[in-house]
Structures are given as C-alpha cells and as structure tokens.
Structure 1
Amino acid sequence: MTLPDGDCDLLRDLLVAAGATTVVEIGLAYGSSALAIGEALAAQGTARHVIVDPFQDSAFSDAGWAALCEAGLDAIAELVREWSSIALPRLVSEGIVADAAFVDGSHRFHEVFVDLYFLRKLVRPGGLVVLDDQWAPSVSTAARYFERNLGWERVSDAFAGGSTRRAGDDPSADLVPRCVAYRMPEPSEPAFTDFRPF
C-alpha cells in the first residue's frame, strides 16, 4: 500500500530530471509517493500536484493527506476525492496539461486502462507516465496496449536498482521492476485497422 523509500527516491529524481512542474497522481493511500512527488515539485518553484483518491478518508483516515499537510505541501497539492474515471475527464475538459503522472490506483484492468486513456490526453508529449505495481498482469497488460498501439516509449533505466517482484506473483516467473516509466509520444490516432494485439 506504500511505495518503498528507494522507489520514492527514484521517482523524485526522475521528475526533477524531467523538470516536471505539474503532476497528476492517481491514488494517495499513506502518501509516500505523494511526498516524493511533492519534494520534486518543490525543487522546481512553481508547481501543481493534483491527487485523485476517492478512498483517502474512508480507507486511509486521511493519513496520506495529513502527511502532505504536515510537510507543507498542501500549498501546491489538491486532493480530488472522486473516482479517477470521473475526475480525469474533467481535468481534460479544464485544459490541464501535466508534465507527468504517477498511477497507483485501482489495479483492475479496465480501470487502469481508463486511467491511461485519459492520462494520454493530459500528459504533454515528451512527458512521463509512471505506473506502480506493473508486476500485476492487469496493470502490465493495460500498459502494453498503449506501448504497442500508441507508441508509448518505455524509459528502460528509470527504475533500475528499484524494488522488484515476480510477475503475477508467480514463484517461477522473472523478477520485474515494481515501477515502469513511459515517455509520451506526439498525439496521433492510428487507423482501426492498425490494431496490434497486446
């Protein structure tokens, strides 16, 4: 339920190197990733951190939000207490352009897919989308669609040295990094005949 410290450091460093000033985060929980993102954004000066988590109060007793407030990061962060499938389309309609996104919300395939669908409209070309728990088949399969059909480019060394887990929690499977980062391409819509199975 919380991103390990080493992965938080890698996330922070990735966002600092990218010069990110606006980040959308899906899932807050206990706030470890949000603190890392907040640290990266605070280093940039002008910053905006939009966090979407419908369960922050009911499942986490506002622990993540309290940690951000105690760190003084509530000045740049806003918490949207709605389902991402409701909040993200509204952010698109408001014209928000993000430099990066961090996704650690629902791990159901259809919900991850919807998050990624809207994040491709929110994150600028050249920006980053980082997924947590890509060891989960539902998460990695959703991401694979965007990689194979829409040209999302995996940043291969972004989480080198970070935590790993066996794919699908299968003891015989390979170890894979917990997090994966993708660089956003220029927007384009492929013809429906160009569909690549994923």
Structure 2
Amino acid sequence: MASSSSSSSSEEDNEVFIVTTWPSLGLTPPPEAPSSPSASVGPSAASASALDAFHASAIQRFGNHYLAAHHQPNVSAATYETGSLLYAALMTSKFPTSLEIGLATGLSAMYMAQAHVDINGGDDDSIRHICIDPTQRLPKDETSTVGLQRGGWDSEGLQHLEQSKLGRVVAMLETESHRALPALHEAGWTFGVVFIDGMHLYDYILLDFFYADLMLPVGGILVLDDAWLPSVQDAAKFILTNRSYELLMLDAERWSEHGKRYFALRKTANDTRMWNEHNRAFAISDGSENNAQ
C-alpha cells in the first residue's frame, strides 16, 4: 500500500506521498496537457519574478545550507542554475508532470514542485512531480544494501519539501529506478521534463534514459546532472548520436553551467530504429580533461 511520510511536519497536507508497494503504484496520472511542450526554454518575466521570490523564500528558510549547496561542484544537490533551468523548462512548457531520479537533499525537487504550484495555483493538490529514491529515509551512516547506493539521506529531501510547503504535489517512489520506471510506464504516466540524477554509472544512466524516453513526449526536455563525470558525458554522446535528441542551445551567459554541470536535451522524434540497426559509433572520453573539477 502507499503510505504518507512519517516526517514530523506540522501540516499533514505538506507531506510527500510515499509509494512502497510494487508494481501497483496507487497513483493516478493527471490529465495530459493539450499540446506538447514549447520549443523554447526560458522563464517569462512573470515566471522569473516567481523564481526570484522562491529563491528569497528558500534562502530565508534554509539559510547557509541552501546557499552552500549551490556553490559546491560535487555536492549531491542541484545548483542554483540547474534548479532554475528545471523551473524554467516547466514554466515554459506548462506540461502537467515531471520526473526526477534521485531525490537526495530535495533542492531540485523544490524547484520543479514550485513550478507546478505556480502553474496550477495553490489550490491544486494533484501529484505533479514524481521522485525516485530507494535510500531517502535511511540514516546517512547506514551502509545500504539497495543496489550500489552507499548510504541514506536521513529524510533530508522529504523534510525540505515539507518545510517549503511543496510536498503536497510530490510523490516519492521508494525503490530502485529499474523497478519504479517500468511501473510508471505501465501505469500510463508521461512527463514533460525528466531530471536524471541517480546512479551515475554509465549503464545505470542508459537504463534510466531508456525508460524515461518512453514516457517523454516529442518536445519534452531531458536533463542529465553532473556533466563533469565521464559516464554522464558518454551517456549524453550516446543519446545525441543514436537517438532523436538535440542539445539545447542556451545563452552561455545566462546558463554558464550548461555542458559543465548538466546537459539539457530536447526530444525531437520518437524512436524509429529498425530491430537490426547497428549502434552508431560515438566518441568515448577518458574524462581526463574534466577530472580537475
């Protein structure tokens, strides 16, 4: 059965919905948007103002922890720019749902959940953002036996979502992505924006991409985090070479971390390869030029 979070949030309505039983999700997808996501990515003046207000509120609520997470290159949290890009992609596309693989500290989930709240209004409590994280509620000092995870997060991401009053539009699937993603696909979910920030081994990234692609419409946005890792670089190269995706052309001054901290790709067509089509070669980087970060 699905269960609500056991966090000590004083307002039950802000708790993240936690799904723990498979393959039945206990979640019903909201209606699809009437049209595919927009081809452009970037906040309007109104959404930029809303984003600024969200940043100010988050800084006031979380203080130094929130600020520090945006300026440490290898910390397990979205940077200010990555979160802003995810927010802008949702605000531009107006697609009703988004997916995130890897909740961790919950900062990227806050950006995406805030976008849904800003799009749909404060009275809409439908589940809009799905997170997948098998070790979110495990203690940080506990060695996990779930997949290849090293340890838990002490519910830090859940607490941030609940404290920011955004948990009510978020569901967390408490299992590995290779179990959760097929179940979401079977249940009929689609996502306009997908953020992959889970296991950073090459084969795990490709597995996450494979299922995410099945649920991403043409025009949807795929964001791969931690672009400084060779495995993420190689996954991006495989996708761009062998599948119908394009690297977003973003303003280098506004989105200076694009290609360094994250890759943002747009899906341009569904997969039409023949069953016997050979994989097109793509360059494999040894990562030596990126290990300095």
Corresponding residue to 1:77 among 155, 165, 170: 170
Tell me, yes or no, if structure 1 residue 34 matches structure 2 residue 109. Answer: yes
Q: Report how many residues are paired.
A: 188
Tell me, yes or no, if structure 1 residue 87 matches structure 2 residue 180. Answer: yes
- Structure 2, unaligned runs of 5 or more: 1-75, 139-151, 283-293
SS for the counterpart of 1:43 is helix
Deviations 1:142-193 (A, max 9, x none): 122121111111112177544649xxxxxxxxxx421111111221231333
Aligned to 2:277: 193
- Please give the alpha-carbon distance, in whole angstroms, between the structure 2 residues aligned to 1:197 and 1:75: 44
- Please give the alpha-carbon distance, in whole angstroms, between the structure 2 residues aligned to 1:15 and 1:132: 17
Aligned to 1:130: 223
Q: Is the 8 A contact 1:7 1:163 kept in 2?
A: no
Deviations 1:90-120 (A, max 9, x none): 1111111111111111100110000000000
Task: Quickly say closer, same or farther: Cα 1:101–1:42, change in 2 above 3 A.
Answer: same
Q: Rg bigger for which structure?
A: 2
Aligned to 2:56: none
Task: Quickly say closer, same or farther: Cα 1:113–1:159, change in 2 above 3 A.
Answer: farther
- Please give the alpha-carbon distance, in whole angstroms, between the structure 2 residues aligned to 1:39 and 1:126: 22
1:1-198 to 2 correspondences below 5 Å: 1-45=76-120, 48-58=128-138, 59-157=152-250, 161-162=254-255, 164=257, 176-191=259-274, 192-198=276-282
Task: Quickly say closer, same or farther: Cα 1:100–1:2, change in 2 above 3 A.
Answer: same
Task: Return the offset for 1:194.
Answer: 4.7
Identity of aligned residues (%): 28
Task: Return the offset for 1:69.
Answer: 1.2
Per residue, is there more helix in 1 or in 2?
Answer: 1
- Please give the alpha-carbon distance, in whole angstroms, between the structure 2 residues aligned to 1:163 and 1:108: 25
How high is the TM-score relative to the length of structure 2?
Answer: 0.60
| Mean Cα deviation higher: 8-17 or 119-128 | 8-17
- Please give the alpha-carbon distance, in whole angstroms, between the structure 1 residues aligned to 2:220 and 2:84: 19
Q: RMSD across aligned C-alpha pairs, in angstroms?
A: 1.9
Task: Return the offset for 1:28.
Answer: 0.7
Deviations 1:49-99 (A, max 9, x none): 000011111211111011111122221100101111110011111111111
Task: Return the offset for 1:4.
Answer: 1.6
- Please give the alpha-carbon distance, in whole angstroms, between the structure 1 residues aligned to 2:250 and 2:78: 18
Task: Return the offset for 1:41.
Answer: 1.1
- Please give the alpha-carbon distance, in whole angstroms, between the structure 1 residues aligned to 2:200 and 2:243: 21
How high is the TM-score relative to the length of structure 1?
Answer: 0.88
- Structure 1, unaligned runs of 5 or more: 166-175
Q: Which amino acid aligns with 2:103?
A: L
Task: Return the offset for 1:20.
Answer: 2.7
| Mean Cα deviation higher: 155-164 or 46-55 | 155-164
Task: Return the offset for 1:43.
Answer: 1.3
Q: Is the 8 A contact 1:113 1:143 kept in 2?
A: no
